[in-house]
Amino acid sequence: MLFKNISIINENLEIHNNMYVGILNDKIDYIGIEKPQENYGEEYDGTGKVLSSGFVNLHTHSPMTLLRGYAENLPLDRWLNEKVFPFEDRLNCDRAY
């Protein structure tokens, strides 16, 4: 697939407008201001849109789903100190999994 007239944000958080971005085999294969010679298949007009890298959540609190509704009527400081932190202290990798 080929995105044309798309804005991109580079690693320095600089915006570049009216770019071409070619995707081949699920990877970015081309980025440039000129239309590439290679055929990337279907073209998408990105006018007025920004193409940015995916955001991956590497920090998750999925084990905390066990605490939904757990002592929910307490003020935050009591809920954390009296309920959540003691519960988390008893968690290990196997229990969280």
The per-residue pLDDT for range 20-42, each reduced to its tens digit, is 999 999 899 999 999 999 999 99
pLDDT at res. 17: 97
Q: What is the mean pLDDT of the chain?
A: 89
Q: What pLDDT does residue 33 have?
A: 97
pLDDT (0 to 100) of residue 58: 65
Residues for the chain: how many in total? 97
Q: How much is the average pLDDT of 61-90?
A: 87
* Structural contact between residues 80 and 72, judged by C-beta atoms closer than 8 angstroms: no
Answer whether residue 90 shows pLDDT above 70. yes
Domains and CATH numbers, the chain: 2-50 (2.30.40.10), 62-96 (no CATH)
